[in-house]
Amino acid sequence: MIERTLILVKPDGVQRGLSGKIISRFEDAGLKIVGMKMDWIDKKFAEKHYSDIGKRYGKRILNNLVDYIKEGPVIAIVLEGVNAVENVRKITGSTYPNEALPGTIRGDFSHISKIYANKKNKKVGNLIHASATKKEAIEEIKLWFSVSELFNYKTVHEKHTQ
Ligand code: IDP
Ligand code: MG
């Protein structure tokens, strides 16, 4: 039941200076940071990370997304906690910011819609990535972090929130 999951503060989150606020949302919920780094990924790595997107949405949206994720550096974080994959997605909010509820990261800090983005050929700037399933989390953590970049330690949350 204790899981690990990957989040990325995407380039819009980093450039808007929201990294601290975003990370705080997860820390406040008692999720533990077990790995963190900044990286500026290239096209090849972006296509590996988003390997399912072409099949799900088509080439045009994949290209748009790859351009978005390599607009600037991202902050990659591995979070650990009880049902971390599902809980992190809940704190993240829905994919399309106009549909994301207030109280979620995407709902509080963004508002663009899928229709507007696709009509204007803009990115769906939704600030963060979060692994969607346990399988995706395992694959993504492996892609982004080596074993030696992940850490085991105790937090007060293990006494009070888990
Ligand atoms: P998720 O990030 O909530 O898991 P996915 O469906 O996995 O959502 O899509 C990955 C990313 O692709 C989204 O976060 C968003 O930035 C982008 N995206 C999804 N749909 C569209 C679209 O219709 N146009 C442009 N970008 C999109
Ligand atoms: Mg996804």
Give the residue, out of 95, 127, 135, with the most ligand 1 atoms within 8 A of its beta carbon, to mutate for a pocket test: 95
* Crossing angle of helices 84-92 and 19-28, rounded to 10°: 130
pLDDT band at 162 (very low <50, low <70, confident <90, very high): confident
Task: Considering every ligand atom shown, identify the ligand nearest to the alpha carbon of residue 10 and give its number.
Answer: 1
Classify residue 158: in a domain, yes or no: no
For ligand 1, say whether the CB of 63 is within 6 Å of any of its atoms. Answer: no
Mean pLDDT for the chain overall = 97
Number of separate domains in the chain = 1
The CATH number of the domain holding residue 56 is: 3.30.70.141
Buried b (16+ CB within 10 A) or exposed e, 66-89: bebbbeebbbbbbbbbeebbebbb
Residue 58 in any domain: the answer is yes
Residues involved in catalysis? 129
Task: Phi first, then psi: give them for residue 37, nearest 5 degrees.
Answer: -160, 160
Is residue 93 exposed (0-12), middle (13-18) or buried (19+ Cβ within 10 Å)?
Answer: buried
CB 26 within 8 A of CB 93: no
pLDDT, one tens digit per residue, over 98-132 is 999 999 999 999 999 999 999 999 999 999 999 99
Range of 98's domain?
2-153
Query: pLDDT, tens digit, for every residue of 7-50?
Result: 999 999 999 999 999 999 999 999 999 999 999 999 999 999 99
Give the pLDDT of residue 161. Answer: 76
- Taking the centre of ligand 1 as the mean of its atom positions, its distance from the CA of residue 126, in whole angstroms, is 8
- At 135, the pLDDT band (50, 70, 90 cuts) reads very high
88 lines ligand 1 (CB under 6 A): no
Residue 158 has a pLDDT of 82
* Spatial contact of 98 and 55, defined as CB atoms under 8 Å apart: no
pLDDT score at 87: 98
Position 160 in a domain: no
Cα–Cα distance measured from residue 16 to residue 29, given in angstroms and rounded to the nearest whole number: 23
